[in-house]
C-alpha cells in the first residue's frame, strides 16, 4: 500500500538532499597531530595544556570508571556546585556541556533561525560560523581591528534581525583581548533582545581570570559566558564546557541540550581539577613565562618580516611579512617535526598560530624556525 502511494508521488530526486544551509557549511578543521605523510609530530596546533592535567583529575577519572553501566548525573549537579564555589557564581545559573562547543551551538540554535542574523568578527573562532549556519541563520562578519574585536564595527552591523553576537575574549586564533570597558560599550549598544556571548575558553589565562564578564552576565539578561575545561585544566579529551547567565538563558540551553551531555568520568575529573588550584596557578605561570619568551624570540626575528600579535591566551599568532611565507614556514616546521596551525581558510594565510608548549617544545620550535630562516637567507 505504502509503496504504491510513494510510487505515485513525483519525487524527482534519487537520494536524500541536505538542506542548502547545511551544504554551505565547511566542516571544522581540527588541529593536526600528524604530518601529511603520517608522521607523529610535536603538536602545537590545538592550544592544549603542555603540562597535561592535574594528577587529581586523572585519579578521579580512573575511579569513575567503576560505574560504567550507569548514566551520568544529567544535570552535572556536583560539578555546577563546584563551579559556583570556585568562580563565586550561582550554581543554578550554570549549565554544563559537551565542551563549550556544544553550548555555542545551542546558543545559536536557541536564539536564531532562518531570517535572523548572527555577528562575529572576521578572525573569530571558526565554530561560530558552523553554529550560525547550522540553524539557517545569516552569518554577518565584522571587520577586525588589529586582528581583534572592533566594537564599533560590530555595532555598525547590528540590525533588527540580529539575535546573537559572538565574541571570543581572549580571541582564538589571534590571541587578542578586548578590555572590560569596550565589552561594556558593546553590550550597551546592543538591543535588549540580542544575546551577547562572551566566549572565555582562555579566560583562566588572564591575570585576573576576567571577572568583569561574569558581572555583566549577572546584571543583564542577554549575556552568556562560556568556559571550558579543555584549556588550562588540560581535560580536552573529556569534552567539558559550561555557560553562565540569567535563568531565562540557562533554561533555553537546558531545554535543547543532550540529556546526558557530560560523562560521569568527565564530571568527576572536572570537579577534581577545580580543587587543584596549584596546578592551575602553575599552568598560568608556565604559560606567561614562555609566552613572553616566545614573543621576544619572534620580535628578535622582525628583520625577517616576522610580526607577533600580542596574546592574552596560550598561543601566539605570528605574521610572516618577509621573504619566508607562513606556508613555507609551516611546511618547514612540519619537516622538522612540529605541527602548528596555518589558517588560510580563515583569511590568515600569512600567519601561523603556535601553541605555547613545554620548555623543550618551545626552544625546539624556535630553533627549527631559525634554521628555516637561515636556510632561506
Q: Is residue 230 within the footprint of ligand PLP (CB under 6 A)?
A: yes
In sequence order, which residues have a C-beta less than 8 Å from that of residue 23 and are 6 or more positions away?
A: none
- Residues β-bridged to residue 203: none
Among 136, 139, 155, 236, binds ligand PLP (CB under 6 A): 236
Residue 228 found at the interface with ligand PLP (CB under 6 A):
yes
Number of amino acids touching ligand PLP (CB under 6 A): 13
Nearer to ligand PLP, 72 or 266 (CB): 266
Distance in Å, CB of 236 to ligand PLP, minimum: 6
Which of the residues 56 through 115 are near ligand PLP (CB under 6 A)?
99-101
Give the number of other Cβ atoms within 10 Å of residue 282's Cβ: 13
The reply on whether position 355 binds ligand PLP by CB under 6 A is no
Indicate the residue among 312 and 330 with the shorter CB distance to ligand PLP.
312
Judged by DSSP in three states, 350 sits in strand
- Say if CB 205 and CB 312 are below 8 A apart: yes
Name the residue whose CB lies closest to ligand PLP. 99
Assigned C-alpha cell, 183 = 565589552
Cα separation values, 287 from 19, 217, 240, 276, 311, Å: 43, 28, 21, 17, 11
Which one, 76 or 230, has the nearer CB to ligand PLP?
230
What part of residues 116-145 is at the interface with ligand PLP (CB under 6 A)? 125
Residue from 118, 121, 135, 168 touching ligand PLP (CB under 6 A): that is 168
Nearer to ligand PLP, 205 or 366 (CB): 205
Longest dimension (CA), the chain: 77
What single string gives the DSSP state of each residue in 108-174?
Answer: HHHH--TT-EEEEETTS-THHHHHHHHTTPEEEEEPPBTTB--HHHHHHT--TTEEEEEEESS-TTT
Question: Which residues make up the interface to ligand PLP (CB under 6 A)?
Answer: 47, 99-101, 125, 168, 172, 199, 201, 228, 230, 236, 241
Amino acid at each position: 500500500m505504502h509503496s504504491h502511494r510513494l510510487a505515485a508521488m513525483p519525487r524527482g530526486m534519487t537520494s536524500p538532499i541536505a538542506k542548502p544551509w547545511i551544504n554551505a557549511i565547511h566542516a571544522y578543521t581540527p588541529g593536526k597531530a600528524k604530518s601529511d605523510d603520517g608522521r607523529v609530530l610535536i603538536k602545537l596546533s590545538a592550544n592544549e595544556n603542555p603540562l597535561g592535567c592535574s594528577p587529581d583529575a586523572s585519579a578521579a577519572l580512573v575511579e569513575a570508571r567503576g560505574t560504567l553501566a550507569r548514566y551520568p548525573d544529567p544535570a552535572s549537579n556536583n560539578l555546577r556546585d563546584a563551579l559556583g564555589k570556585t568562580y563565586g557564581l550561582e550554581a543554578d545559573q550554570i549549565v554544563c556541556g559537551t565542551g563549550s562547543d556544544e553550548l555555542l551551538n545551542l546558543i545559536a540554535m536557541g536564539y536564531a533561525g532562518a531570517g535572523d542574523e548572527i555577528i562575529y568578527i572576521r578572525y573569530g573562532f571558526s565554530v561560530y560560523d558552523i553554529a550560525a549556519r547550522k540553524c539557517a541563520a545569516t552569518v554577518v562578519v565584522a571587520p577586525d581591528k588589529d586582528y581583534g574585536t572592533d566594537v564599533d564595527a560590530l555595532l555598525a552591523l547590528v540590525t533588527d534581525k540580529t539575535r546573537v553576537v559572538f565574541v571570543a575574549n581572549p580571541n582564538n586564533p589571534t590571541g587578542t583581548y578586548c578590555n572590560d570597558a569596550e565589552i561594556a560599550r558593546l553590550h550597551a549598544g546592543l538591543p535588549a533582545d540580542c544575546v551577547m556571548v562572551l566566549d572565555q575558553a582562555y579566560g583562566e589565562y588572564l591575570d585576573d581570570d576576567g571577572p568583569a564578564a561574569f558581572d555583566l552576565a549577572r546584571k543583564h539578561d542577554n549575556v552568556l559566558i562560556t568556559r571550558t575545561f579543555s584549556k588550562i585544566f588540560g581535560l580536552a579529551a573529556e569534552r567539558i564546557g559550561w555557560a553562565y547567565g540569567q535563568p531565562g538563558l540557562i533554561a533555553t540551553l537546558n531545554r535543547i541540550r543532550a540529556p546526558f551531555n557530560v560523562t560521569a568520568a568527565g564530571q568527576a575529573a572536572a570537579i577534581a581539577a577545580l580543587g587543584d588550584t596549584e596546578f592551575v596557578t602553575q599552568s598560568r605561570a608556565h604559560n606567561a613565562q614562555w609566552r613572553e619568551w616566545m614573543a621576544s624570540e619572534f620580535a628578535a626575528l622582525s628583520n625577517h618580516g616576522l610580526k607577533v600579535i600580542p596574546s592574552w591566551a596560550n598561543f601566539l599568532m605570528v605574521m610572516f611579512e618577509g621573504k619566508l611565507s607562513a606556508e613555507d614556514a609551516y611546511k618547514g616546521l612540519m619537516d622538522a617535526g612540529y605541527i602548528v596551525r596555518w589558517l588560510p581558510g580563515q583569511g590568515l594565510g600569512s600567519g601561523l598560530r603556535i601553541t605555547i608548549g613545554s620548555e623543550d617544545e618551545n626552544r625546539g620550535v624556535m630553533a627549527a624556525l631559525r634554521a628555516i630562516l637561515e636556510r632561506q637567507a
